[in-house]
Structure 1
Amino acid sequence: MLATLPPPQLEHVCDLAVTISAPLEIGQTVAGLRRMIPITGGVVQGPLLNGKVLAGGADFQLILGGGTQAHLDARYVIELDDGTRVFVQNTALRVASLENSQRIMRGEPVNPSDIYFRCQPKLEAAGDTWGWLSESQFIGTGRRAPDGVFLSFYRVV
């Protein structure tokens, strides 16, 4: 018999403030407009994860929809307070009006309530202590600022 299952619950894992440097414009390709945003660092704070974002990652962007959709693929490493390193691959969708999208691309502030920014981070760490990161699904929400990206990650339980 077909029955609707109860919806999953969300458990707040952490908040991230990711610092970035100027975008590297790749240009218009057959797939769309490509950009790469270098990740220069950041902080991670929350009830389940605390540490810092290490420099050296990047956010690879594909801009579609006449400039109103950004398909994001960010890859970076978090170093937790205990020294454990966590690999993060975070895919996201950011949708905004053409005007707000152009503001974001120029590095100007926008009203976060006017932007749809959701993500699906995958987290991996070595060792038993943090094994649950690889055995869980995560979703999140984001906000782009001129000098960085702010994210909140939630574990789907």
Structure 2
Amino acid sequence: MTLRLEVDSASAYPIGITLSGNRMVAPIVGGTFSGPRLEGTVLPGGADWVLVGSDGSMKIDVRTTLKTTDGAFIYLQYRGRFIASAEAMQQLHA
């Protein structure tokens, strides 16, 4: 099943430099999701825990709660790696 997830987040705040990279947290403030058989809202209260490496790549660890249109709650967690050009990063922060 394919799911489209659009997340609104507040500005990230720094945790600080660690041996693994620069740690920051971007709080999730809302959003929406939709798929062939499921849709609803992204609830505020989750966050994206980001670790920025010395090469500019980011390891992401996102945890949030979804609420379907019929009232069911879904815990969602995903991890990944984000690599973008300098131009793409400027657009992301614009």
Fold similarity call, TM over 0.5: yes
Give 4+ residue runs of structure 1 displaced > 4 Å after superposition.
none
Equivalent residue for 2:90, pick from 66, 79, 103: 103
Structure 2-normalised TM-score?
A: 0.89
Partner SS, residue 55 of structure 1: coil
* One-letter amino acid of the structure 2 residue matched with residue 62 of structure 1: L
Equivalent residue for 1:94, pick from 82, 89, 94: 82
Structure 1 residue 104: deviation in Å? 6.0
Select the structure of larger CA radius of gyration. Answer: 1
> Are 2:6 and 1:20 equivalent residues in the alignment?
no
Structure 1 unaligned regions, length at least 5? 1-10, 109-157
Q: What does residue 121 of structure 1 align with?
A: none
Aligned equivalents of 1:31, 1:104: Cα separation in 2 = 26
Count of aligned pairs: 94
> Are 2:76 and 1:62 equivalent residues in the alignment?
no
Aligned equivalents of 1:53, 1:82: Cα separation in 2 = 14
Q: What does residue 36 of structure 1 align with?
A: 25
* One-letter amino acid of the structure 1 residue matched with residue 40 of structure 2: G
Structure 2 unaligned regions, length at least 5? none
Q: What does residue 71 of structure 1 align with?
A: 59
Structure 1 residue 103: deviation in Å? 2.0
Structure 1 residue 80: deviation in Å? 0.6
What is the CA RMSD across the aligned residues, in angstroms?
Answer: 1.7
Structure 1 residue 56: deviation in Å? 0.3
Structure 1 residue 100: deviation in Å? 3.6
Aligned equivalents of 1:58, 1:101: Cα separation in 2 = 22
